[in-house]
Every structure is written in C-alpha cells, then in structure tokens.
C-alpha cells in the first residue's frame, strides 16, 4: 500500500485549513448537515450559500441533497490550454453557467508556457498550489490529459476525476520520480487498502520533460488507465465488491475533472505524505529562485462522454436524491437550472486564497506570454 493513499480532498483540505478565516462557516459532515440558512456544504466541508452550492457541493452533507445545484451534464470536447477564453480565472465570478466556461481556477495561478505548449500550473511558498476544475461533470467516458509533470522533491502533480461524494480516480506524479506515475481510486473517499488499489506505472520517457497522454477510460463495469494509448492498469467493478457483498466500492458518481499542483512536502502534511512526495520542498531550488514558482505544464484535456440520450431532451445535469439501500448515493438526470439566481451570493469558498492576487498575476503573465484572453 502506498503511504500516499489519502484521497486528494483530504490532503488538500488539510493544507487549506490553515488559511481559513476566523469567521469561517460551520462545518458539515455525515452527522451534522448544513442549516437552512447556509444550506450548502462545500467541497472543503463548510456550510454556505451561493457559490457554496456549485461544483463540489456535497449533497448528502447539505441541508437537502437538492440544496446543491445539479452537476452540469457532460459535453464532449477538447480544451487546448493555449487558449484560456473558456477558463474562468476568477472562481468567485462563476455562476454555474457551464455553457459560458469549461474550466474554473479554484486556487492559485496559471502562467503561459514559455514554449507555447499550454499553461503552467504554479506552486509558491506562499500559496498551496493551483487547482483547476471542469465546470461540467462526466458520468463514465474517457478523459485524456496531455501534460508534463513537476519534477522537484515534495511537489506533486495530480490529474483526477472527483465527484461531489468523493468518488475519485487519480493519476499522481510524486516529487522527483519522473519515470513513474501512480494510479489510484477511491469510493466515497475511502480506499480499500487490502486490494492493490494504488499502483505505479512506468512512463516511457521523463514525464516532466516530455508530453505524454494519460487517459482514464471509465466505464460502468471497468476502469482502465492508459499511457500513450497503452493500458497500464485495469480495475473491474466486479472485483470491488465488499466482503459482505453489499456494495461495489467502485467510482460510480458524476465527477469533475481536476488538475493540480500541490505541496506534498510541507509542514502541514502528514509525515507519510511528505515521504511519499519525496521529502520537504527545497525553496532554495535554483528553478524556484529563477522562476518564482514550481510548476507542471498542461497542454490539453479531451473529454469524451458516454452516449447519453437525455442530453438532447432539456437535461441540464445530474442531481442526487440520497442513498440506495446499500448506502450508495443515487443520481438522476434533471432539468433543473445549474445556475445561481441573481440574489444568491458570489463568494469565495473558505480557503484563504486571494482571487485578486491570483487574477492580477494571471492576467499580467498571460498578457506577457501572449495568451488569448476572454
Ligand atoms: C461534524 O461536524 C460537527 C459540527 O462542526 C462537529 O462537532 C463534529 O465533530 C463533526 N463530526 C465528525 C465525525 O467530524
Ligand atoms: C450562459 O452563457 C451563455 C454563453 O456565454 C450565454 O449565451 C447564456 O445567456 C448564459 N445563460 C444565462 C442564463 O446567463
Ligand atoms: C477489498 O478488495 C478486495 C479485492 O478487490 C476484496 O476482496 C475485498 O472484499 C475488499 N474489501 C473491502 C472492505 O471492501
Ligand atoms: C449514505 O451511505 C453512506 C455509506 O455508504 C453513509 O456513510 C452515509 O451516512 C449515508 N448517508 C445518508 C444521508 O444516508
Ligand atoms: C422539467 O421537466 C418537468 C417534467 O417533465 C416539466 O414539467 C418541466 O416543465 C421541465 N422544466 C424545464 C425547465 O424544462
Ligand atoms: C472576482 O470576482 C469577485 C466577484 O465578482 C469580485 O468581487 C472580485 O473583485 C473579482 N476579482 C478580480 C481580481 O477581479
């Protein structure tokens, strides 16, 4: 079992806790749901309204499952990250209109790749790295990431799918190990450590200096990880059946696609995570000193949704109604609006990142790098 076997939301939320303001909203979890006055439980586990009800809103910890806006329905397409016109850089401005934006920057900064090969997601000593999320959700299909990983001890690159109830499928590149990538998955935020659930795959050439295509082929009965079109790992739904036969511990809920860079080697992480990530980050590294950040490089993401006949019949998204008798969350397609109404507040989620600093520097760097902006 890899010591890393922590779902990414735990690692990232722990890191972000340090930044939450004192006036932070109430916590939410399986036993304490959000009150009607702040009905939505954010992905970081705090109650609020408005923006809290969008992507990542945890339906089963919210006041009602329908307090969260529906998960915007999947739409096949490819984003080349040389063009940021469909990336909302200011997450606070996002109102749930997935027709207007394909991606939202949740935290951190994007910098144009100096070689014109997409964007760098950056990590500095003063932030907790960068995370971007798709505005739409995918409920089975394939996701192809073309990227270069980071390459410094303690710095982690991740390309994942994450559902609002914490089903998760991962690619993770840890620290300076650039000839390997890790594959992992979680069911409702829980890994099955007895199974070989986390596994490493070899990459044919240095993952930090060569673009490779990393694919999830996520189907209802089988999940494949592929590198440059070669299958490197397969998990069948059948083999995830719990010992008591009650649950398939298999990712089965609509998920956002997320790419991030984060500090595995920092004081706020558990020792196991620090070791897995390749030790503490060296903030005196010459690459860091000359650039002012560590980075990975994201060239493109291609999403292919499984055929969904409902997409043409006014369906807007997926909504949760609760658990089935086996304790597996139930989702159904819906035609309810995914948007916030005009009166619902656009607020930053409790996470401490300053959207102002983020946007200003992204704009400055993007203009300097000649990126096409909205
Ligand atoms: C759930 O949240 C409540 C309210 O913040 C808190 O008192 C309780 O300890 C939490 N429970 C768990 C299991 O984290
Ligand atoms: C959503 O965005 C699209 C594209 O920008 C726009 O045409 C549409 O009017 C927006 N919908 C709402 C309800 O704001
Ligand atoms: C863990 O996975 C193994 C093999 O896939 C399976 O036999 C076992 O029942 C699982 N355990 C739990 C608690 O889900
Ligand atoms: C749903 O089932 C999960 C176990 O799969 C359980 O932890 C959770 O408390 C249940 N939630 C509700 C609202 O029933
Ligand atoms: C949503 O579907 C219901 C039931 O089919 C229908 O009554 C309602 O008018 C639809 N609403 C929208 C916004 O399409
Ligand atoms: C981001 O959007 C919020 C909400 O509209 C706004 O208050 C804030 O000033 C914006 N930040 C920047 C840098 O424009």
Backbone phi, then psi, for 333, in 5-degree steps?
-70, 155
**Active-site annotation holder among 125, 168, 239, 344:** 168
**Which pTM does this prediction carry?**
0.88
Q: All domains of the chain, ordered by start, with CATH?
A: 2-367 (2.60.120.200)
User: For residue 10, what are its two tokens?
Assistant: 């735990």
User: For residue 309, what are its two tokens?
Assistant: 């006949």
Q: Is the CB of 60 under 6 A from ligand 4?
A: yes
User: For residue 31, what are its two tokens?
Assistant: 């036993």
Between the alpha carbon of residue 47 and those of residues 62, 71, 362, the distances in Å are 8, 18, 29
Q: Is the CB of 336 under 6 A from ligand 6?
A: no
The predicted-structure confidence for 253-280, as pLDDT tens digits, reads as follows 999 999 999 999 999 888 988 999 999 9
- Whether the pLDDT of residue 371 is over 60: the answer is no
Pairing of strands 103-107, 87-88: parallel
The predicted-structure confidence for 237-256, as pLDDT tens digits, reads as follows 999 998 899 999 999 999 99
| Angstrom distance (rounded) from CA 227 to CA 81 | 20
- In sign, the C-alpha dihedral spanning 334, 338, 341, 345 is positive
Which of 89, 355, 361, 373 to mutate to test ligand 6, by most ligand atoms within 8 A of the CB atom? Answer: 355
The helix/strand count (H/E) of the chain reads as: 4, 21
Which residue has its alpha carbon closest to ligand 1 atom 3? 32
| Angstrom distance (rounded) from CA 257 to CA 237 | 21
H/E element, 334: strand 329-334
Which of 28, 29, 30 to mutate to test ligand 4, by most ligand atoms within 8 A of the CB atom? Answer: 30
Which residue has its alpha carbon closest to ligand 6 atom 13? 356
Q: How far is the CA of 23 from the centre of ligand 1 (A)?
A: 17
Between the alpha carbon of residue 19 and those of residues 24, 186, 189, the distances in Å are 10, 26, 23
Q: Tell me what percent of the residues of the chain surpass a pLDDT of 90.
A: 75
For the question of residue 125 being annotated catalytic, the response is no
For the question of residue 78 being annotated catalytic, the response is no
């Amino acid at each position: 079992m890899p010591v890393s076997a922590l779902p990414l939301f735990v690692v990232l939320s722990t890191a972000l806790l340090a930044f939450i303001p004192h006036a932070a909203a109430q916590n939410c979890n399986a036993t304490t749901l959000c009150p009607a006055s702040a009905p939505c439980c954010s992905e970081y586990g705090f109650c609020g309204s408005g923006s809290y009800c969008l992507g990542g809103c945890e339906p089963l910890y919210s006041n009602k499952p329908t307090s969260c806006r529906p998960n915007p329905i999947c739409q096949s397409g490819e984003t080349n990250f040389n063009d940021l016109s469909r990336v909302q850089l200011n997450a606070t401005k996002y109102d749930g209109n997935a027709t207007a934006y394909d991606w939202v920057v949740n935290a951190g900064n994007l910098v144009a790749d100096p070689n014109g090969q997409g964007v760098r997601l950056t990590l500095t000593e003063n932030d907790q790295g960068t995370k971007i999320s798709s505005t739409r959700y995918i409920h089975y299909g394939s996701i192809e990431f073309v990227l270069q990983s980071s390459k410094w001890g303690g710095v982690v690159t991740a390309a994942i799918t994450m559902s609002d109830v914490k089903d998760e499928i991962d690619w993770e590149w840890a620290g300076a190990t650039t000839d390997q990538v890790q594959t992992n998955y979680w069911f409702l935020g829980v890994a099955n450590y007895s199974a070989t659930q986390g596994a490493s795959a070899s990459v044919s050439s240095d993952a930090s200096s060569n673009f490779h295509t990393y694919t999830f082929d996520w189907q209802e009965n089988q999940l494949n990880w592929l590198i440059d079109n070669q299958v490197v790992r397969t998990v069948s739904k059948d083999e995830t059946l719990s010992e008591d036969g009650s649950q398939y511990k298999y990712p089965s809920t609509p998920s956002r696609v997320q790419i991030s860079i984060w500090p595995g080697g920092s004081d706020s992480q558990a020792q196991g995570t620090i070791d897995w990530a390749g030790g503490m980050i060296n903030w005196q590294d010459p690459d860091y000193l000359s650039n002012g950040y560590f980075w990975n490089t994201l060239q493109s993401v291609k999403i292919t949704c499984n055929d969904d006949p409902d997409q043409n019949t006014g369906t807007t998204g997926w909504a949760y109604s609760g658990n089935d008798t086996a304790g597996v969350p139930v989702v159904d397609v819906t035609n309810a609006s995914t948007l916030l109404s005009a009166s619902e507040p656009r607020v930053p989620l409790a996470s401490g990142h300053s959207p102002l600093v983020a946007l200003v520097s992204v704009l400055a760097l993007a203009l300097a790098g000649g990126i096409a902006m909205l």
